[in-house]
Structure 1
Amino acid sequence: MESVGAYEAKTYLPRLLDEVATGKTIVITKHGTPVARLTPAQGEAPRPEDVIKALRHARHGVTLGDLSIRDLIEEGRR
């Protein structure tokens, strides 16, 4: 992990951002002490509504065969 001083980070921010865009992480220091970390963006988190919709869609067609949930619970207790 590369580290750069705060002044250098301010001066060369576009170059540092290009490096981060390739997957590199850069630590920014102030008087030798790490104070910040530039890391690649993770992308947007999925909206909860979209996740719920996907889960509901995924469960269609899933069956328990001839068993009910109650049967499975009772089987697990034995």
Structure 2
Amino acid sequence: MLEEIGSYEAKTKLPEILRRVEAGEAFTITNRGKPIADVIPSRASDRLKTEAAIATILKAKKHKISDVVLTELKESGRK
């Protein structure tokens, strides 16, 4: 259930509400008790995180590791 907030309070506390939405919270803005709008975190940031992760994976794939180095890394992880 989204936290309800009146339109006047939403107007006066907009910066605080936006910080909380950025942190993952969601709100329903009401006018005289009637739900008017839902304020939810944007999915655009998820898309940007996904694109950055893909870029990191592709960059990592370009670096080749020799079998000798790979074996050394495996062995060092077992100590």
Kindly report the root-mean-square deviation, in angstroms, between the aligned alpha carbons of the 2 structures.
1.5
- TM-score, normalization: structure 2? 0.53
Paired residues, number: 45
More helix by share: 2
Match of residue 28 from structure 2: 27
1:39 matched to which residue of 2?
40
Provide structure 1 residue ranges, at least 5 long, that are not aligned to the other structure: 47-78
Counterpart of 1:37 in 2: which secondary structure? strand
Q: Gaps (5+ residues) in structure 2?
A: 48-79
Give me the identity figure in percent: 40
Runs of 4+ in 1 over 4 A off after TM superposition: none
The structure having more radius of gyration, on CA atoms, is 1
Q: TM-score, normalised by structure 1?
A: 0.54
Structure 2 CA distance for aligned equivalents of residues 18 and 2 of structure 1: 15
